[in-house]
Structure formats: structure tokens, C-alpha cells
Amino acid sequence: MTKLRHYDQTNLARFVTFSTYRRVTALNDDWLKQIVIDELKALRVRYSIRIHGYVLMPEHVHLVLWPPSGEELGRRIGEMKSRSARAFFAGRPIGGDKETRILWQRRCYDHNCRTIKDAIVKINYCHNNPVARGLVTEAGDWSWSSFNWYQGLRDVPLEIDSVEL
């Protein structure tokens, strides 16, 4: 297995993607989405990681994050995935084989956003993902993204560290 390189000394926003195991649509339930949201809130508090954008899709998550320089973002995402999986399986009946007890694929993929404009492009990608997939007709109809925060609404699942447009 090839080790993915993560560049943690950049002081740049990062576009991160991770998926459910075998891309199973495990994130259809709102209670599991809320677990992921709660873990994102904890990530912000524990490690001072700014959250600029996100979308929770049925089988994957996209994030636009700005970690402090030197923070090992891949490790922190791994911790978040581990905690959310434990919470997920604590709320589910125990399955028969080990494979049914895996929620996330092992890796996360990240992209360094070299400019604020690049970060905004990735945030917009997050917001348009549910529309492109045909889950909703307008981005504001998908409550599990940062879109409505950027529209000025504050009754949303996760507060955002806004990027200056």
C-alpha cells in the first residue's frame, strides 16, 4: 500500500474527502450525520482547526479546513472517524462479522488550497455536490452542508469559520 503524503507545514486551507467503507450509503440517517457534525465541532475545539465549508453526503464527506501550521490533519481526521464510528456502532445492534463493524474507509484524501480563491472554489464544490447528485434541486435544500451558513442563516447544524469573499 502506498503511503499518501500530507503536507502539514503549509498554513493553507485543505480540502479533505473521506468515504464510508465500500461507499455504503451509511450517512442516510440524520442521527449519524449529527454524530459527524458533533465530531467536527470537537475537532475545532481540540485542535483549533477552522472549518470553512463542508457537505455530508450519503457515502462520503467533503471538508474545507484550515489547521494550524504543523497540525497533522490526516491524524486528526483519523481520530474523528474513529470516534464517530464508535458512536455509530454504539447506537446499532451488533452485526455478525467484522466487516459489518467498519464505517469508514481507511484513508482520507486532501488537497492544499494555495489561495483563498481556491478554497472558495472547493467550498462551492461542497455546496453543489448534493445538487449535482440529484439529491436536491437547490443547494439550500440540503441542510447537511455549510451553504445556508453562507446565506446568512444561523440555525444550522454547524457554525462555520467564514472565508472572506
Residue that has been written with the C-alpha cell 469559520 in this structure: 161
CA distances from 138 to 17, 51, 61, 129, 131 (A): 22, 22, 19, 10, 6
C-alpha cell at 165: 469573499
pLDDT attached to residue 69: 87
Contacts of residue 124, defined as CB under 8 A and 6 or more positions apart, other chains included, come to none
Contacts of residue 35, defined as CB under 8 A and 6 or more positions apart, other chains included, come to 84, 87, 88
pLDDT attached to residue 90: 87
Which positions of the chain have pLDDT values less than 70? 1-10, 92-100, 164-165
Sign of CA dihedral 122, 21, 30, 134: positive
pLDDT attached to residue 37: 98
d(CA 137, CA 142): 9
Domains (ranges, CATH) in the chain?
13-150 (3.30.70.1290)
pLDDT attached to residue 5: 52
Of residues 147, 124, 164, 161, the one with CA closest to residue 43: 161
CA 74, 129, 149, 68: dihedral to nearest 10 degrees? 20
C-alpha cell at 108: 482520507
pLDDT attached to residue 11: 80
